[in-house]
Amino acid sequence: MPTKRATIAAKITDRSAEAKTARKPTAASARAARTEHVKQAKEPKPRARAEESVRVKRASRPDGAATRQHLLDTAGQVFAARGFADATSKEICERAGTPMASVNYHFGSREALYEAALVEAHRQVVSLDELSALTEAPGDARDKLRAVISRFVGLSTSTSAPWGFMLMLREVLSPSPAMPALIEKAVRPKAAVLLRLIGEVLQLNPHEPAVQRALMFSVLPCIALMIAPRQVQATLLPAVAKDRAALVEDFTRFVLAGLDAVAAAHKVRK
């Protein structure tokens, strides 16, 4: 007969074995645990899911660029009509049919919107890509200059001027704090292209002071023609817009004759 102490020890041993057996996972349970662990690792965290949702939402808004351009066009018209000081974000958004927060959302501020409108206005006169294409085309430098002048003068005789012309006129007559940004972002790159072209015509280095003066003599009259109010032209110089081809030819003759005189003068000095 087993003693009482032996019986108690046997029971403790049996219970310990049962506990170990219960803790030891079966092959099926181990596989299930691994599957659940992998599933949890692959599943994005709540914050990651939220960020991904925002990214998907933003990516699924193809109208964002169109809304920005519509807001820019509307703002350009308002700025051209009222000037920077009197044009408000409220009026711009109301006319564009967009929420009041649209200006800050797309541009950051009313000042940045005005700056973007000025750059767009300068692009309406002539874009950098278009100007580069005209000056890099095959042919003589004088023919390229003729093409550029034809483009500029043609705009001056157009019956329907875009809002950018009036906005540029306002900015020229009363420069705003955005003028330095306009010069750096729009004017300077195009001036570099034109300086190279004028340098070719004069056969001088584009960095020569004479080339810079020649550019001013050649291009500024074109710009004045473009941004001058059509009513002024029609009233004071009615014949100007009646024969665009003759205007281009005479203006080109005038410019090239002046450039020839400048080139001859600098050859004599050398």
pLDDT tens digits along 109-144: 999 999 999 999 999 888 999 999 999 988 899 999
214-241: buried (b, 16+ CB within 10 Å) or exposed (e) per residue? bbeebbebbbebbbbeeeebeeeeeebe
Q: How far is CA 184 from the centre of its chain?
A: 13
Mean pLDDT in residue range 54-75: 71
Asked whether the predicted pLDDT for residue 69 surpasses 80, the reply is yes
Q: Which residue has the tokens 């890509």?
A: 129
- 180 plus 92 within the same structural domain: no
pLDDT of residue 59: 37
Q: Does the structure show a pLDDT above 80 at 41?
A: no
DSSP 226-250: HHS-HHHHHHH-TTTTT-HHHHHHH
Are residues 248 and 190 part of one domain?
yes
Q: Quick count: other Cβ atoms within 10 Å of Cβ 124?
A: 17
- Looking at the fold, whether 113 and 186 belong to one and the same domain comes out as no
pLDDT tens-place string over residues 180-211: 999 999 999 999 999 999 999 999 999 999 99
pLDDT at residue 56 tops 60: no
Residue 100, domain CATH: 1.10.10.60
pTM of structure: 0.70
CA nearest to 168, candidates 80, 234, 84: 80
pLDDT reported for residue 224: 77
**Same domain, residue pair 161 and 176:** yes
Overall number of domains in the chain: 2
The verdict on 113 and 134 lying in the same domain is no
Q: Do 82 and 181 lie in a common domain?
A: no
The whole domain housing 108 covers 63-123
Same domain, 155 and 109: no
